[in-house]
């Protein structure tokens, strides 16, 4: 609720487009869009709290972001998270997330899964100090929807 109030105090144009909790929103209620911008909670991937849990919950916000990408099929998406996402479980967690974004399915064994690729996924670590006076390294993940038949 505080996040919603803060957003509205900064960006209220008289027609707020805040739909609520992602875990309770049906995809049919989300307008069609070309680009999805999202971040999912980083606590599970951050090294700051020392208790990295990863994708252990079936109802994680990442799974809901993936659901919306699958159902709305935007042309592109941009996701943001902590850099610890890359190194968690020696990179296995990120490999699972990247595969899920590419193929539209979350599986712990991507090597055993064959399906047409939906998105080409790229990522980069960027330090916010390049733009603002804050030293904060984040991972940015970009997905571009494949056109036509995709290669495996």
Active-site positions?
42
- b/e burial code for range 12-36 (CB count within 10 A of at least 16 → b): eeeeeeeeeeeeeeeeeeeeeeeeb
> What end-to-end distance do the CA atoms of the chain give, in Å?
43
- Between strands 35-39 and 76-82, the pairing is parallel
């Amino acid at each position: 609720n505080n996040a919603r109030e803060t957003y509205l105090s900064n960006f209220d144009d008289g027609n707020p487009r805040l739909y609520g909790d992602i875990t309770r929103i049906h995809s049919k209620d989300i307008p069609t869009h070309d680009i999805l911008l999202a971040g999912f909670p980083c606590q599970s991937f951050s090294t700051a709290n020392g208790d990295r849990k990863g994708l252990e919950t079936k109802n994680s916000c990442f799974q809901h972001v993936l659901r919306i990408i699958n159902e709305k099929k935007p042309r592109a998406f941009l996701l943001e998270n902590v850099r610890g996402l890359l190194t968690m479980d020696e990179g296995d967690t990120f490999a699972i997330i990247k595969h899920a974004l590419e193929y539209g399915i979350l599986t712990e064994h991507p090597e055993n899964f064959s399906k047409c690729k939906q998105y080409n996924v790229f990522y980069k670590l960027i330090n916010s100090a390049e733009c603002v006076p804050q030293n904060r390294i984040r991972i940015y993940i970009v997905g571009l929807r494949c056109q036509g038949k995709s290669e495996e």
